[in-house]
């Protein structure tokens, strides 16, 4: 079992450019989470999916961030346009259900220049 898979692992872009992150959850996990982790801080939830439905996106900055989970499996998180302050690690996690243990991916480290 590979666990939660994320790609790319690292991304360097210039500000105002778009960027996308991809997440493949553990097979059978209905709940998928995207977290933002700034340097020296703990992860902060951006959005939670139950199957293909976004059930908690209150922390997602919707002016520049968007996410989708087509067919309730893989998910993509997009930033357009990126800003310098978006430099961080973006973590994806999945769980069988909302109350169950969350399993984290390795994260995507984004650097915006």
Partner 1 sequence: AQRVTQPEKLLSVFKGAPVELKCNYSYSGSPELFWYVQYSRQRLQLLLRHISRESIKGFTADLNKGETSFHLKKPFAQEEDSAMYYCATRAGMPSGSARQLTFGSGTQLTVLP
Closest CA to 34 of 111, 107, 110: 107
Per-residue mark of binding to partner 1, 65-94 (x: CB under 8 A): --------------------------x---
Among residues 10, 61, 98, 113, which is the contact residue for partner 1, using CB under 8 A?
Answer: 98
DSSP 8-state symbol, 85 = G
CB of 3 to partner 1, least distance (A): 7
In the complex, the smallest distance separating the C-beta of residue 45 from partner 1, rounded to whole angstroms, is 5
Selected from 54, 76, 96, 104, the binder of partner 1 by CB under 8 A is 104
* Least distance (Å) between residue 16 CB and partner 1: 30
CA-based R_g, the chain, Å: 13
CB closer to partner 1, 27 vs 101: 101
Residue holding tokens 């450019």? 17
Please give the order of strands across the beta sheet that includes 5-7: 5-7, 19-24, 75-79, 65-68
Q: Tell me, residue by residue from 1 to 20, as one string, x for binding to partner 1 by CB under 8 A and - for no binding.
A: --xx----------------
Cα–Cα distances in angstroms (integers) from residue 95 to residues 70, 99, 113, in the given order: 17, 8, 34
């Amino acid at each position: 079992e590979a666990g939660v898979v994320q790609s790319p692992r690292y991304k360097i872009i210039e500000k105002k450019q778009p960027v996308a992150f991809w997440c493949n959850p553990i097979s059978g996990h209905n709940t998928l989470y995207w977290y933002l982790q700034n340097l020296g801080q703990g992860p902060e939830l951006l959005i939670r999916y139950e199957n293909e439905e976004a059930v908690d996106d209150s922390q997602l900055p919707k002016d520049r961030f968007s996410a989708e989970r087509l067919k309730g499996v893989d998910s993509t998180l997009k930033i357009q346009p990126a800003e310098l302050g978006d430099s961080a690690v973006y973590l994806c996690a999945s769980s069988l259900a909302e109350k169950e243990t969350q399993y984290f991916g390795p994260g995507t480290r984004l650097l915006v220049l």
